[in-house]
Chain A
Amino acid sequence: EPEVTQTPSHQVTQMGQEVILRCVPISNHLYFYWYRQILGQKVEFLVSFYNNEISEKSEIFDDQFSVERPDGSNFTLKIRSTKLEDSAMYFCASTGPNQPQHFGDGTRLSIL
């Protein structure tokens, strides 16, 4: 069964550094999403992406965040200048028409 894959599984970064989280969505999906989950808290929606542009974003997704689909397969989340509070699990999801969202297993981001 096709699945969403995310790399790396764990990323450790110094505060203030830029970080890029990578996702390969399911190949025929058209909508892409990023979510985050701070340890012990709820899964929170960050942003959705369709047709090479942001469709919707939450108030968490501020100017420090950006998303990109640099080629036909990858979908990335960039955090420009990381803060301690960016430490979380980041989940990528994708979906096609009349299909539910399918999630990857996440990247654990640790900011030191």
Chain B
Amino acid sequence: DAKTTQPPSMDCAEGRAANLPCNHSTISGNEYVYWYRQIHSQGPQYIIHGLKNNETNEMASLIITEDRKSSTLILPHATLRDTAVYYCIVRVASGGGADGLTFGKGTHLIIQP
């Protein structure tokens, strides 16, 4: 079972920042937090990941609390194309590795025009 908890759905107005929370209170010291999204039954798309420091890339920012028990994915200027199911996943390895990703039900983010 997934080791993360996310709200099932969220709305956000187009052009505003979308802040998606994730609870991972049982995360281990060597586990990374990954975020993926899935747009309308396409393949999951990698967004960002981090261990303990905040991370930013061209798609999003990831804020991890100091105790690492929760995180927030921020889409700074949401567009209609950001409507998708967003998955927060914890995983031991930074990359590669035999273990697969364990997907939960994610958060269905709906961007409103």
Contacts and interface: CB of A to CB of B under 8 A. Distances in A.
Contacts of A4: 43
Interface in A29-79: 30-31, 33, 35, 37, 42-48, 50, 55-56, 58
Contacts, number: 67
A48 B42 CA distance: 20
Contact of A101 (B42, B101, B102): B101
Interface string A68-112: 000000000000000000000101010111111111111000000
A105 B102 CA distance: 18
A38 to B, nearest CB: 11
B61 to A, nearest CB: 16
Contacts of A55: 98
A31 B41 CA distance: 23
Contact of A106 (B43, B46, B95, B105): B43
Interface of A: 4, 30-31, 33, 35, 37, 42-48, 50, 55-56, 58, 89, 91, 93, 95-106
